[in-house]
């Protein structure tokens, strides 16, 4: 899948944020994260396993080169897109027709400034739960990443596909997703007023289902 300028989906084994060479002028720090409501509906053990793996990456944060008073963009989950329910194709949106539930369990990140701007590394923990209508061992999902400018307009959006594989007889499974985003900026310009927003890419019916669930 081709990636627009500024986005890359980073594969990894063991380390979600692979090391990369640091230029003479660079600053790396943890991202300020703001959470969204409605992310607690899967069982605690399922979330804990993937959250622990993600939060263990806190040691990636470090400073090198010239230290400046710069801050990372905020990263957050849009609350209405923090979860998705997949139904059997052509069926009504009822409990017996659920193929899978999925939720963005947690997220973590850091950013690095250099002469070209700021690079944001984001890790997402996706957790899925089998539904009674699931017949396959995989659940295809799509999620988006949007970068918004200080005035609130959208700078760019990318939709990324992924697949969660369920081991045999496992009621839940998950995936750790690693993204790298770049915002071009003049040297020394602060990106703290930019935002990177993530969520599941939903069709109109899935979005309405989420809204009805919140309204109940």
CA atoms within 13 A on the CB side of 103: 21
Indicate the average pLDDT of the chain.
75
pLDDT band (50, 70, 90) for residue 109: confident
Cβ-based neighbours of 129, under 8 Å, separated by 6 or more: 42, 46, 100, 101, 102, 171, 172
In this predicted model, which residue has the larger pLDDT, 109 or 134? 134
Question: What is residue 47's predicted lDDT score, i.e. its pLDDT?
Answer: 39
Within 8 A by CB and 6+ apart from 172, the residues are 42, 43, 46, 127, 128, 129, 130, 166
Q: State residue 29's pLDDT score.
A: 54
């Amino acid at each position: 899948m081709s990636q627009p300028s500024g986005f890359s989906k980073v594969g990894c084994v063991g380390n979600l944020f692979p090391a990369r060479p640091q230029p003479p002028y660079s600053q790396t720090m943890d991202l300020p994260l703001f959470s969204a409501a409605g992310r607690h509906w899967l069982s605690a053990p399922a979330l804990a396993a993937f959250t622990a793996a993600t939060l263990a990456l806190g040691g990636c944060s470090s400073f090198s080169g010239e230290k400046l008073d710069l801050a990372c963009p905020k990263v957050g989950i849009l609350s209405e897109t923090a979860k998705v329910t997949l139904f059997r194709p052509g069926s009504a949106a009822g409990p017996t027709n659920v193929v899978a539930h999925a939720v963005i369990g947690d997220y973590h990140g850091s950013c690095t400034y250099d002469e070209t701007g700021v690079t944001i590394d984001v890790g997402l923990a996706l957790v899925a739960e089998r539904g009674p209508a699931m017949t396959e061992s995989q659940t295809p999902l799509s999620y988006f990443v949007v970068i918004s400018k200080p005035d609130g307009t959208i700078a760019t959006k990318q939709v990324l596909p992924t697949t969660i594989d369920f081991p045999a007889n496992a009621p839940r499974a998950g995936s750790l997703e690693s993204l790298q985003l770049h915002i071009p900026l003049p040297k020394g310009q602060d990106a703290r007023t930019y935002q990177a927003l993530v969520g599941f890419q939903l069709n109109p019916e899935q979005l309405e289902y989420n809204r009805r669930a919140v309204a109940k």
